[in-house]
Amino acid sequence: MEKKPTAHVRPLTLADAGDVLAAFRSASDMSRQGDVTDEISAASYLAWACGKDSNTTSFAIEVDGRVAGCVGISVDAVNLVGWVWYWMHADYRSRGLTSRATTTVANWALTDGGLERLELGHRANNPASGRVALAAGFTWEGVERGKFLIDGERIDVRTYGRLKLDPPPTSETLDVETASWPSLIGQHREEP
């Protein structure tokens, strides 16, 4: 009998460069997620994604020991707000993994993670991203008309938010060990 793949969420680390590079090479639409084309740029991306030189904390979506995807939160510690983003290696898409991982991370971020509002936006011509947002309990809040200029065309961005007080989604989650995850506010508080 074929073994079912196991997926879980854990913090992304600087050691994940090989898998991150493979994901960025897997599909042309990954180019808007960051400038990752080789091992050096993958290491720079991870320094940012892992909060070494940023206010961002990221989580790997690990499938059978490999980083297939990622959910990140860029934190505004003054307003207790997080900007959420995600991506998935092309080979692992349409399995519900990003939806389940984003639900898992958002549920944690609005409880033990210490945030009170999460927000995200996606290009209107990227409906799969909107499906992930809705699955993870976000509410559609509006449209930023003509926000991006891509290949000569102005593209709308659809924006979403989820508040701590919103009812949590009933969507499936992934396995996590959140007990060891430090609060997002503690990680990204700016010292006066």
Ligand X SMILES: CC(C)(COP(=O)(O)OP(=O)(O)OC[C@H]1O[C@@H](n2cnc3c(N)ncnc32)[C@H](O)[C@@H]1OP(=O)(O)O)[C@@H](O)C(=O)NCCC(=O)NCCS
Question: Could you write out the DSSP letters of every residue in 33-90?
Answer: G----SHHHHHHHHHHHTTSSSSEEEEEEEETTEEEEEEEEEEETTTTEEEEEEEE-G
Instruction: Confirm or reject binding of residue 88 to ligand X (CB under 6 A).
Output: yes
CB of 180 to ligand X, least distance (A): 25
CA 172, CA 99: separation in Å to the nearest integer? 8
Tokens representing 151 are 């290949």
Residue with Cβ nearer ligand X (7 or 110): 7
CB of 100 to ligand X, least distance (A): 7
Which residues in 40-79 contact ligand X (CB under 6 A)?
none
Instruction: Confirm or reject binding of residue 29 to ligand X (CB under 6 A).
Output: yes
Instruction: Confirm or reject binding of residue 127 to ligand X (CB under 6 A).
Output: yes
Nearest to 177 by CA among 55, 9, 12, 43: 9
Helices (H) and strands (E) in the chain, counts: 5, 7
Instruction: Confirm or reject binding of residue 170 to ligand X (CB under 6 A).
Output: no
**Type of residue at 149:** L
Q: Of residues 94, 153, 180, 191, which one binds ligand X by CB under 6 A?
A: 94
Q: Of residues 117, 131, 147, 189, which one binds ligand X by CB under 6 A?
A: 131
Binding segment for ligand X among 84-92, 108-116, 175-183, 184-192 (CB under 6 A)? 84-92
